[in-house]
Amino acid sequence: MSSLPWRLLVGLGVPFVGVVVCLPLVDKVPRYFFGMPAVLDWMFLWFGLTSACLAACWFLHDRTAPDEND
């Protein structure tokens, strides 16, 4: 249970900061990447990064935790 703050930070905190906090900053970038505005590329990037954060939580902690049914 001691790793709960770490898991919450990686699984929820990092994606929250990346999307909610940084999105207004990225919205001011007038550039286009891959034919789309930077803000859309930023959102698509965070789809994968959020999954990576959740996978990191599972691989680094929850994978070795016993199941509740056992």
Question: Tens of pLDDT along 5-53?
Answer: 778 888 888 999 999 999 999 999 889 988 899 999 999 999 999 999 9
65 has a pLDDT exceeding 80: no
Domain that holds residue 48: 15-63
7 lies in some domain: no
4 lies in some domain: no
State residue 12's pLDDT score: 86
10 lies in some domain: no
The pTM (predicted TM-score) of the whole model is 0.74
19 lies in some domain: yes
- Alpha carbons 48 and 25: distance in angstroms, whole number: 20
State residue 62's pLDDT score: 67
52 lies in some domain: yes
Q: Which two tokens stand for residue 22?
A: 């940084």
41 lies in some domain: yes
Tell me how many domains the chain contains.
Answer: 1
26 lies in some domain: yes
**Identity of the amino acid at 62:** D
Transcribe 23-64 into DSSP letters: HHHHHT---EETTEEHHHHHHHHHHHHHHHHHHHHHHHTGGG
State residue 50's pLDDT score: 93
58 lies in some domain: yes
